[in-house]
Amino acid sequence: MASIDSGLTPGAPHRPLRRSFFRGDRFQAAAFIVPSCLVLALLTIWPFVYSVYLSLHSVRLTALHRAIFIGLDNYRNLLADGLFLRATLNTLMLAAASIACEIIVGFVVAKAFVSIAHLRWSNWLRSFFLMPMMVTPLIVGMIFAYVFNPVLGVANYLLGAIGLAPVSWFGESIPAMLSILLINVWQWTPFMMLLIMAGLFSIRSDLYEAARVDGAKWHHVLRFLEIPSIRGIVLLGVILRIIDTLRFFDVVYVTTRGGPGDSTMVLTLYAYQQNFQFFQAGVGSAAAVIILAISIVITTFAVRLLRGIEDE
C-alpha cells in the first residue's frame, strides 16, 4: 500500500494540470489559429517577399540561382517601357469603364427586382440573373471566344440577320477593347446589382411614403434618398471590383492575348509574358509588385472615403 500511495501521490498533481492546459481556451485557440496563420504565411507572405527579392535582381526563370542584384533598375526600366505604360493605361481605363457600367446597369436592374419583389417568380429570376458571376472567368472567356468568332460566332450571325456588316471583334483595336469591356460587365454586373439591391431593401418604407406625400419626383427620390442610402455599400463594391479588375487576366488571355497589337494588353498579362514567355523573372516580379502597390494605394484611398461616409 505504501508503494502504491507513494506512486500516486507525486504523479497526481501533474496529470490534471497537463489536461487542463490542453483543454484550456488559450491552447485551443492557438491550435486553431496557428495552422491557418502558417498556411497563410506560406501562400501569401513568402511569395510576396520572394517576388520583391526577384524584382531587385536580374534573373531568368530558367536560372533562378544566378540572380544578379541590380537594385531598382527593373522598376526604372518598366516605367520607361511603352508597353508597360500602355498596359497600365488599358487596365485603369478598363477598371473605370467597367465599374461605371456595372453601377449604372446594376442599379437599374436592382430597382426592377425591388419593384417585383412581391411576385413569386422574382426569386427564380434573380437567381438566373446571378449565374454569370458564378462561372469561372476562364470559361467565360472561352464562351465569348466562340460568340465573337468572326466566321462562326453568334454575334456576327445576329448582325447579319438584321442586315448589318460583320465585325472583327478581336481583330481591330476598338472592337477588341469594347468586347473585353462587354465581357467584364456581363459577368460582374450581377455582383454590383446584388449589393445595390441589398442597400435599397435597407431603406425604410416610411421614407418612401414621406417622399410621395411631399410630392417628390423619381429623380428627387433618387438623389436625396436612394443614392445617399446606398453609396457606402456601392463604394465597398467599387473597392472589391477595383482589386478584381487589377488582376484581370483570364478573359484577355483566352480571347485576345493582348492584341491586336497591344490594344488590349493589361498589367497581369504583361507580367505573365515577362515571366513565362520571355523568362525575365526579375522584370515580371517588378511588374507584379507594381500591381500590388497600385491596388494598395487605390484601396487605401477608397477605404478612407468609405469611413468618411460611415461617419457622416
Domain 75-311 in CATH: superfamily?
MetI-like (1.10.3720.10)
What is residue 217's predicted lDDT score, i.e. its pLDDT? 87
What is residue 6's predicted lDDT score, i.e. its pLDDT? 46
What is residue 1's predicted lDDT score, i.e. its pLDDT? 43
What is residue 121's predicted lDDT score, i.e. its pLDDT? 86
Share of the chain above pLDDT 90, in %: 51
What residue segments make up the domains of the chain, in order of their start? 2-55, 75-311
Tens digits of residue pLDDT in 56-87: 999 998 888 899 999 999 999 999 999 999 99
Which are the contacts of 245, defined by CB distance < 8 A and separation ≥ 6?
91, 94, 95, 98, 99, 184
> Can you tell me the mean pLDDT for 91-119?
92
Within 13 Å, how many C-alpha atoms sit on residue 283's CB side? 22
More confident position, 248 or 5: 248
* pLDDT, the chain, mean: 87
User: Taking the complete model, does pTM exceed 0.75, yes or no?
Assistant: yes
- pLDDT beyond 70 at 297: yes
- pLDDT beyond 50 at 3: no
- Which own/partner pairs from 64-70 qualify as long-range (CB within 8 Å, at least 24 positions apart)? 64/281, 67/282, 70/282
Distance CA 311, CA 226 (A): 18
Tens digits of residue pLDDT in 270-293: 999 999 999 999 999 999 999 999
